[in-house]
Amino acid sequence: MKKITAVIALTLVVALLAGVVAYAESGYAYGEDVLSAFAPGWSEIFTDDTVISLSVGAEAGEVRFAWLSSDGKEAAFRISENSDMSDAKEIPVETSEATGDCMSNKVTVGGLETGKTYFYSYTEKGEWSEPQPITVQPEENFTVLFVSDAQIGRSGEETLEEVLIRDTCGWNYTVDKMTGRYPEAAFIISGGDQLQSADSITQMKAYLSPEALRSVPVANTIGNHDKGETLYGDVFNNPNEVNELLGDEAGTGYYYTYGDVLFITVNSNNNFLFDTAKVLKSAVKAYPDTKWRVVTMHHNPYSASLSDDEYSEYRLLFSSLFDCYDIDLVLSGHDHFYSRTEPMYAGEEAKGEGTVYVQSSSASGSNYDPLPDELASFTVSAFDVRVPTYTALTFTDSAIKGTTYRTDTDEIIDSFEVKDNTSDSDANIFTVFISMLKTLFSMI
Ligand SMILES: [Fe+2]
């Protein structure tokens, strides 16, 4: 009875709060009815101590899983082609000590056929979870959904339930909308700041709560709110992590492929140029011949906030490398507004081929930053309405086709095509140095 009363009270509080137009710098896509329907389920999210996360595999046909538990001694995982889990194959679980006296349980499943649906189930202490489907999407003309800065807990005092509920509701709403529109999406890329507090298991449970994330892998990025703590690495089972000299407690850069695309995720909190160069070099050496190369990093070197000195170092250090490694597309977040650039090379709009930089807004609506009074000259699209957005990227032979939606109305706010950036530059210490000098001159 007490529990029911508490839920009713909480629902009323949230319903009342929903009547307020904005919480600090937040702005959500959902209506009051959605929040009221979502709030009673919070206790289920809050108490789900073993929620599983799906990460992208090294290649299509591999999916990586991780979950926390209080005792990993009996953790087990199995996968089957049948929903009743008949003829299931048991996959070994790697268990290690993790954040908050938890154990981190990780599983890598390879050899899955594209175009086929499988079912998986996992357990701690013998009680198997409800089997969940996962479809390995075909590699031809596949689509990836790009978001950033769900940043659960950002809209107010990050430990308060009403703050967590409204941010989590916003994140769930966006995930539902985009996976509903693109049920065939191969995976999701998150540009970082998944949480407000890097060590908050509650916020992590909230981030993992959307039902669609039981079936769609996510390539997460280390944002400035994710660094310095081990939780990110405990919960996300990233492939091909690169052993960096100045790696973070959260993790390092990593890379993976899907179809004819090499995806490289770098930790832009680490400004040590040689570490980023090592990640790029390792990735390109492992997969030298893919048609497309896409980098994800939290901070955007070509932010529309040109005047903000914060970005100078990213442009100088990171973009010079991207120029030399022929990166086609860079995906970022951090600014909490959507923007896209012209193709860029050496600090300027490319005369020929260059790298396009796309920056996502907040995926939950927990916080927005204002656009600068004057946009940088290289910014061709920017969106400053306080509404969550998401971008669908479809990789074809001729182009990367991007479409960006506002989550509330489904209106398309930007659409673009990225063409192959096949400049002849070689990536070596000399070419990177020349590119840095050119970039430096462009910034003076
Ligand atoms: Fe952020």
Q: Ligand 1 centre and the CA of 297: distance in Å?
A: 12
CA-based nearest residue to 341, from 382, 401, 393, 298: 382
- For helices 161-181 and 2-18, what crossing angle results, to 10°? 70
Q: Ligand 1 centre and the CA of 267: distance in Å?
A: 14
pLDDT value, residue 235: 97
179 has pLDDT over 60: yes
Q: Ligand 1 centre and the CA of 286: distance in Å?
A: 31
Q: Ligand 1 centre and the CA of 27: distance in Å?
A: 14
Q: Ligand 1 centre and the CA of 256: distance in Å?
A: 24
3-class secondary structure, 269: coil
Q: Ligand 1 centre and the CA of 368: distance in Å?
A: 9
Q: Ligand 1 centre and the CA of 285: distance in Å?
A: 32
Q: Ligand 1 centre and the CA of 346: distance in Å?
A: 27
Q: Ligand 1 centre and the CA of 154: distance in Å?
A: 8
Whether this prediction's pTM lies above 0.75 is answered by yes
pLDDT band at 126 (very low <50, low <70, confident <90, very high): confident
pLDDT band at 23 (very low <50, low <70, confident <90, very high): low
Q: Ligand 1 centre and the CA of 334: distance in Å?
A: 4
pLDDT value, residue 21: 37
Q: Ligand 1 centre and the CA of 65: distance in Å?
A: 25
Q: Ligand 1 centre and the CA of 353: distance in Å?
A: 30
Q: Ligand 1 centre and the CA of 370: distance in Å?
A: 13
pLDDT value, residue 24: 59
Q: Ligand 1 centre and the CA of 193: distance in Å?
A: 5
For the beta sheet containing 254-258, the strands, ordered from the edge strand earlier in sequence to the opposite edge, are 254-258, 261-265, 292-296, 329-332, 356-359, 338-341, 379-383
Mean pLDDT across 84-112: 94
Report the alpha-carbon distance of residue 344 to residue 349 in Å, rounded: 5
Report which residue type is found at 324: C
172 has pLDDT over 90: yes
13 has pLDDT over 50: no
What percent of the chain stands above pLDDT 90? 75
pLDDT band at 16 (very low <50, low <70, confident <90, very high): very low
Q: Ligand 1 centre and the CA of 320: distance in Å?
A: 24
Mean pLDDT of the chain: 90
Q: Which residue has the higher pLDDT, 13 or 301?
A: 301
Report the alpha-carbon distance of residue 321 to residue 66 in Å, rounded: 32
**Dihedral of alpha carbons 171, 174, 177, 178, sign:** negative
Fold of 143-443: Purple Acid Phosphatase; chain A, domain 2 (3.60.21)
Mean pLDDT across 122-132: 88
Q: Ligand 1 centre and the CA of 258: distance in Å?
A: 27
441 has pLDDT over 70: yes
Q: Ligand 1 centre and the CA of 244: distance in Å?
A: 24
Fold of 61-135: Immunoglobulin-like (2.60.40)
Domain boundaries, the chain: 61-135, 143-443
Element (H, E) at 163: helix 161-181
Q: Ligand 1 centre and the CA of 335: distance in Å?
A: 7
Mean pLDDT across 58-74: 89
